[in-house]
Amino acid sequence: MADREQIRYEANPIERVRDLIEANRNYFPELEQAAEAMRDELNVGSQEVYGALAERLRERHSITTRVMPVDVMRETLRRFDRHRRQLLISELVDGPGRAFQIAFQTGLSEHGGVIDAIVHRTGALDEAARRLFRITLGNYFAAAVMMPYGAFHSAAEQLSYDVNVLAQRFNAGFEQVCHRLTTLQRPNARGVPFFLLRVDNAGNVSKRFSSGTFPFSKFGGTCPLWNVHSTFDTPDRLLKQVIELPDGSRYFSIAQMVRRPVAPHPQPQPRFAIGLGCEIRHAAKLIYAAGMDLEKAEGTPIGVNCRLCERENCPQRAEPPITRTLILDENTRRASSFAFSNAREL
């Protein structure tokens, strides 16, 4: 079973690209430099980025940007019409989203060669992984244009990593800011090494990034004791938590539910939870940990996920750990659905 999962993992372009991002510590200096140079050339504030990039695309690339009605775009949020030289963005996309989508297109139009060079140096990739990695790097560039490294890093440090204030200052969304915070790994101007997780209310992981040491699982979901899952019950609150893994390592995390582009009635409104965290030794730099005694704060014991967690007597365990032998006893019912031996399987 484990071998079959490993084979599926290695053949999965999403996991392949996640590995490439992790290998680069989610930091691509060529794209950072290109994005900062572009913002310097634009010489506009965050609220004017969309308009300035629309004008740049029109003047330099003969590309017209249009915000289109939902009945024209239907399920599509952005589409580039090469034949008509038009970038079409759905009216459902909010302001920060529109700036991001036009920055993505500008990146491909002006720095496609830089992106291709990064893809090429990774070695052999199948077509799906190559295309996905290229899109991922285009997204990276777009975020770097909206939140240029020097200005964003300086503001993050000054504001003690207050995500909502950073979002206001850079005209960005909560998720965009959290994602950007995981990329601050410039050698002479490092930020807090954050990790990020995005899950839906069924526990499916759709994003994970780390510039630190958090041991994300490559298989399965996440621990239900991590309060990132609780945000769906408290959609207007930002939650914070100290968590502790079975090996004793401790982390500080914040979590909040976010809504994606508006969905027309009667379609369901997409909702996700964003978890952002760092090792406990960095938490004192965050405004969210102000007033906490981080050394004495009790950590919630969690696991990476059930199949890899060896904590006993967990009442929320969904599966036994793959490293232990399952014990079945019809005469006993424990709080946990599974009992297992203390001896590891080899």
Mean pLDDT of 178-200: 96
Containing 204, the helix (H) or strand (E) segment is: none
Cβ–Cβ < 8 Å for 224, 302 = no
Mean pLDDT of 291-303: 91
Q: pLDDT higher for 268 or 287? A: 287
Q: What is the pLDDT of residue 345?
A: 56
Q: pLDDT higher for 308 or 37? A: 37
- Residue 195 DSSP SS3: strand
Nearest to 323 by CA among 335, 336, 311: 311
Residue with tokens 């053949």: 11
Tens-place pLDDT, residues 10-61? 568 999 999 999 999 999 999 999 999 999 999 999 999 999 999 999 999 9
Q: 260-284 burial string, b = 16+ CB within 10 Å, else e? A: beeeeeeeeeeebbbbbbbbbebbe
Least confident of 150-164, 175-189, 264-278, 327-341: 327-341
pTM of the model: 0.90
- Residue 189 DSSP SS3: strand
Q: pLDDT higher for 135 or 124? A: 135
> How many Å apart are CA 322 and CA 346, to the nearest integer?
10
Q: pLDDT higher for 345 or 207? A: 207
Per-residue pLDDT band for 264 (boundaries 50, 70, 90) equals: confident
Per-residue pLDDT band for 65 (boundaries 50, 70, 90) equals: very high
Q: What is the pLDDT of residue 165?
A: 98
CB-hemisphere CA count at 13 Å for 137?
28
Nearest to 212 by CA among 188, 243, 190: 190
Residues of the chain with CATH 3.30.450: 149-305
Per-residue pLDDT band for 188 (boundaries 50, 70, 90) equals: very high
Q: What is the pLDDT of residue 10?
A: 55
Q: What secondary structure does DSSP assign to 126-147, as a single string?
A: -HHHHHHHHHHHHHHHHHHHHS
Least confident of 69-83, 102-116, 139-153, 219-233: 219-233
> How many Å apart are CA 344 and CA 170, to the nearest integer?
50
Whole-number average pLDDT of the chain: 90
CATH architecture type of domain 149-305 = 2-Layer Sandwich (3.30)
Residue with tokens 């034949």: 83
Model confidence at 98: pLDDT above 70: yes
Q: pLDDT higher for 212 or 56? A: 56
Q: What is the pLDDT of residue 1?
A: 45
Report cis status (omega within 30 of 0) of the bond before 270. Answer: no
Q: 91-123 burial string, b = 16+ CB within 10 Å, else e? A: bbbeebbbbbbbbbbbbbebbeebbeebbeebe
Cβ–Cβ < 8 Å for 163, 178 = yes
Q: Roughly how many angstroms between the first and final C-alpha of the chain, as a whole number?
A: 15
Q: What is the pLDDT of residue 313?
A: 74
CA 213 to chain centre: 15
Q: What is the pLDDT of residue 219?
A: 63
- Kindly give the pairing relationship between strand 64-68 and strand 86-90: parallel
What are the structure tokens assigned to 97, written together?
């989203």
Per-residue pLDDT band for 218 (boundaries 50, 70, 90) equals: low
Cβ–Cβ < 8 Å for 152, 45 = no
Q: What secondary structure does DSSP assign to 47-92, as a single string?
A: GGHHHHHHHHHHHHH--EEEEE-HHHHTT-SEEEETTTTEEEEETT
